[in-house]
């Protein structure tokens, strides 16, 4: 099983628990200097991690904790889409999170970037 990302750009860490990744998310939410590395890590997880539940946990945490307008919100929705494509399914909680992010994007593009939650990749 590949190492899980811990929020550092391009570095696979020791196998991390969802709690460890949640700490990296909180760090990115508290300090925008960590947003880019968290975005890279989240995309890497969505595209390479073999544990669907871990991917979902990371995306749901980010979707619940990020402030309105945070650029990572749209990415969380996009990464849930990658997980759905790769595994052919998502948990009910992950589907609800993705739907919530998409709805928020439709209602206010300054809240969630709709390009990440739109099937065509364009803002509504």
The first and second tokens of residue 59, run together, are 């995306």
Asked if residue 65 has pLDDT above 90, the reply is no
* pLDDT over 90 at 53, yes or no: yes
Q: What is the pLDDT of residue 10?
A: 39
Reported as a single tens digit per residue, the pLDDT across 15-44 is: 455 566 667 777 887 888 888 888 888 888
More confident residue, 49 or 6: 49
88 versus 71: the higher-pLDDT residue is 88
The predicted structure's pLDDT at residue 20: 65
Nearest CA among 21, 124, 14 for reference residue 72 = 21
Distance separating the N- and C-terminal Cα atoms of the chain: 38
For 87, the 3-state DSSP assignment is helix
pLDDT at residue number 22:
62
Phi, psi of 12 (to 5 degrees): -80, 135
Does pTM top 0.85 for this prediction? no
pLDDT at residue 13 tops 50? no
């Amino acid at each position: 099983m590949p190492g899980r990302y811990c929020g550092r750009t391009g570095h696979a860490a020791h196998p991390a628990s969802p709690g460890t990744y949640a700490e990296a998310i909180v760090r990115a939410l508290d300090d925008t200097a960590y947003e880019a590395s968290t975005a890279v890590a989240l995309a890497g997880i969505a595209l390479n991690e073999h544990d669907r539940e871990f991917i979902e946990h990371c995306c749901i945490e980010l979707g619940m904790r990020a402030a309105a307008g945070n650029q990572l919100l749209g990415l969380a929705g996009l990464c849930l889409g990658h997980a759905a494509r790769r595994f052919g399914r998502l948990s009910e909680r992950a589907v609800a999170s993705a739907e919530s992010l998409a709805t928020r994007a439709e209602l206010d593009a300054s809240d969630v970037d709709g390009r990440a939650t739109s099937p065509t990749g364009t803002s509504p």
